[in-house]
Structure 1
Amino acid sequence: MSTPATPPTKRRQQIVQTYRMAKKTDRRIGLYTLGAFVLGALLGFAVIWFLPGDGPISLALSIVGALLFGLLAAIIVFGRRAQAAAFGQMEGQKGAAASALQMLRRGWKTDPVVGFNKQQDIVHRVVGPPGIVLVGEGHPQRVKALLATERRKHERVLPETPIHEVVCGRGEGEVPLNKLVKHVTKLGRNLKGADMTDVLNRLKAIDAHRPPVPMPKGPMPTNMKGMRGQQRGR
């Protein structure tokens, strides 16, 4: 019986998996990451080297500073390019918005596919500080009608809770996939912790009458949470 992988091992596996996935669409991700490390290391070495002091201690501190600055720069560049590559691969696929919304931090709850129609237009729901955010994917006109239907359902149960509608896409008035998380987090702060708990409890009345809906099948990156951690350098 094999022993569970240690956290550092899991972390390395996650980085390798992310790199391989990003490499499919970003051939230069390794080159840019290496370049960021070198430039960061040079900057870190120079900054500490020119501080007051000399001798072996100054040299040792400069080397440590170079490694730390270089690693930080590499993590930032790798995280951003990996995330951009993931969004590029997901663009246009059903359920891509739900995968992107998984990058939201604690204090948010994402429910994929709370609404759908025969044409496979879908609506996801996010509950967080702004209130309820309904995110639609699909044909612009059909998805707007689907969003309106879902809004009415939610207003019957939560008439005083702010409800926001967002269409994910590249059309006029739509939010691109790579900007979706940022857009959602900037919708304001209307709910506090206790309010959000009450909203989630009351939403169970709606969800209890929904048939189970599987996420659309297809090749989709599933490591978005891992990329979020890498981009933040953790």
Structure 2
Amino acid sequence: MARKADTENPGRLKQIAQTYKMTRRADRKIGWILAGVGLVTFGVVLAAGFLIDHPVYAGILGAVLALLAMAIIFGRRAERAAFGQMEGQPGAAAAVLDNIGKQWSITPAVAMNRNQDVVHRAVGRAGIVLVGEGNPNRLRPLLASEKKRMARVVSDVPVHDFIVGNDAGQVPLKKLRNTLLKLPRVLAGGQVTQVNDRLRAMGDLMSNMPIPKGPMPKGARMPRGGQSGR
């Protein structure tokens, strides 16, 4: 057991160090901020300890609370720095969705166009959520097409759609997870499974459709299913 703990601790310390370096690249004042938070927290608690004539106990409690406060501040600023580096990168929304929790089933890139605008799908107690990342003007018809495609098999399930971005009517990347978690729950666990099965069956049917080889005949139109990138 001791040997196992020895092998795990260096890994955790290394991970913390890497996170700190990543955060410091985007937040140059992180070291001073953490030091200030720790010292102020410890000093306040220790001062209170002198007032009640228990400086030793207050010093121990102050040290614990100082470490806790520093961990909280570090976690928040590290998260902010991570989102700052991810923002604008292809697949950033899919990475956020992958960490939303086990109650959601995530399918990345259910629809895509030639410009690499992508729509991801999440299914949970709130129903179906389509998340687009890319150019908003190109994403809107892509989202509408995906909704129409899904309506063939899940017309009775609520569908929400969001476009990731910082403009009006869009959802910032850092708020995407909380936005989905705040949606009202309307489906039971068994219904979520049924919806997933129906959507996956639809995907399998689309992927198994015969596609003619060679160049497309002149004047022919690409089927709607071709937008899914499956």
Partner residue, 1:228:
none
Partner residue, 1:78:
74
**Aligned partner (choices 142, 148, 154) of residue 150 of structure 2:** 154
Structure 1 residues 153, 46: CA separation in 2 closer, same or farther (over 3 Å shift)?
farther
**Aligned partner (choices 135, 142, 155) of residue 131 of structure 2:** 135
Percent identity of equivalent pairs: 41
**Aligned partner (choices 167, 172, 182) of residue 171 of structure 1:** 167
**Aligned partner (choices 44, 50, 60) of residue 64 of structure 1:** 60
Partner residue, 1:43:
44
Counterpart amino acid of residue 71 in structure 2: I
Partner residue, 2:91:
95
Q: Which has the higher helix share?
A: 2
After superposition, the C-alpha distances for 1:139-165 in whole angstroms (9 at most, x for unaligned) are: 111101111111122222222111100
Question: In structure 1, what is the Cα distance between the partners aligned to 2:50 and 2:196?
Answer: 55
State the 1:105 CA deviation.
2.9
Consecutive unaligned residues in structure 2, runs of 5 or more? 209-227
State the 1:50 CA deviation.
4.8
After superposition, the C-alpha distances for 1:26-61 in whole angstroms (9 at most, x for unaligned) are: 11122212222222222343455555xx4xxx4442
State the 1:100 CA deviation.
2.2
Question: In structure 1, what is the Cα distance between the partners aligned to 2:31 and 2:185?
Answer: 39
Structure 1 residues 153, 48: CA separation in 2 closer, same or farther (over 3 Å shift)?
farther
Larger Rg: 2
What secondary structure is seen at the aligned counterpart in 1 of 2:26? coil
What secondary structure is seen at the aligned counterpart in 2 of 1:165? strand
State the 1:185 CA deviation.
1.5
Contact persistence 2:49–2:56 (CA under 8 A):
no
Question: In structure 2, what is the Cα distance between the partners aligned to 1:159 and 1:62?
Answer: 61
Question: In structure 2, what is the Cα distance between the partners aligned to 1:188 and 1:177?
Answer: 20
Larger relative contact order (C-alpha < 8 A, sep ≥ 6)? 1
Question: In structure 1, what is the Cα distance between the partners aligned to 2:51 and 2:151?
Answer: 63
Counterpart amino acid of residue 28 in structure 1: K
Contact persistence 1:113–1:125 (CA under 8 A):
yes
Contact persistence 2:130–2:160 (CA under 8 A):
yes
**RMSD between aligned residues:** 2.5
What secondary structure is seen at the aligned counterpart in 2 of 1:70? helix
Contact persistence 1:48–1:65 (CA under 8 A):
no
Tell me the TM-score normalized by structure 2.
Answer: 0.79
Question: In structure 2, what is the Cα distance between the partners aligned to 1:48 and 1:146?
Answer: 62
Contact persistence 2:125–2:188 (CA under 8 A):
yes
What secondary structure is seen at the aligned counterpart in 1 of 2:27? coil
Give the 5 Å matches for 1:1-234. 6-47=7-48, 50=51, 54=53, 58-208=54-204, 209-210=206-207
Question: In structure 2, what is the Cα distance between the partners aligned to 1:200 and 1:132?
Answer: 9
Number of equivalenced pairs: 207
Counterpart amino acid of residue 84 in structure 2: G
State the 1:191 CA deviation.
2.2
Consecutive unaligned residues in structure 1, runs of 5 or more? 215-234
Counterpart amino acid of residue 66 in structure 2: G
Structure 1 residues 68, 140: CA separation in 2 closer, same or farther (over 3 Å shift)?
same
Question: In structure 2, what is the Cα distance between the partners aligned to 1:13 and 1:63?
Answer: 29
Contact persistence 2:109–2:118 (CA under 8 A):
yes
